[in-house]
Amino acid sequence: MSIPMLHRKHSSGLRSLATSAREDLLGGLLRRELWGRLGFREVRRRYLRTKIGPFWSTLTFLVYILAISLVGAGLWGTDLKTFLPFLVSGMVVWGFISQAMNESCLIFTQGALLFSNARMDYSVLAYAQVWKQFILFLHNMVVWLLVVLYNPAILEWATLLAIPGMVLVLANVVWITLLIGLVCLRFRDVQQLVLSATTIGMLVTPLFWPPERLPPGLTRLFFVQLNPIYRLIDIVRTPLMGGVPTAASYAAVIGITVCGWTLTYFMFRKFRGRISYWS
Quick: pLDDT tens for 191-222: 999 999 999 999 999 998 888 888 888 888 88
Q: Which pTM was predicted? A: 0.89
Q: Is the model more confident about 46 or about 119?
A: 46
pLDDT of 98 > 60? The answer is: yes
φ/ψ of residue 75, rounded to 5: -65, -40
Please give the single-letter amino acid code of residue 18: A
pLDDT at 113: 65
Least confident window among 29-33, 48-52, 183-187:
48-52
Give residue 167's pLDDT.
97
pLDDT in the model for residue 115: 57
pLDDT at 15: 59
Name the least confident of 74-83, 198-207, 251-260.
Answer: 74-83
Nearest CA to 135 out of 230, 61, 57, 29 is that of: 57
In order, the DSSP letters of 19-70 are SSHHHHHHHHHH-HHHHHHHHHHHHHHHTTT-SSTTHHHHHHHHHHHHHHHH
Q: Are 254 and 165 in contact (CB under 8 A)?
A: no
Determine phi and psi for 71, rounding to 5 degrees: -75, -45
Domain boundaries, the chain: 17-278
CA distance 28 to 203: 35
Integer Cα distance of 179 and 184 in angstroms: 9
Check residue 43 and give its pLDDT: 86
Q: Determine contact, residues 276/9, Cβ cutoff 8 Å.
A: no
For the stretch 231-240, pLDDT in tens is 999 999 999 9
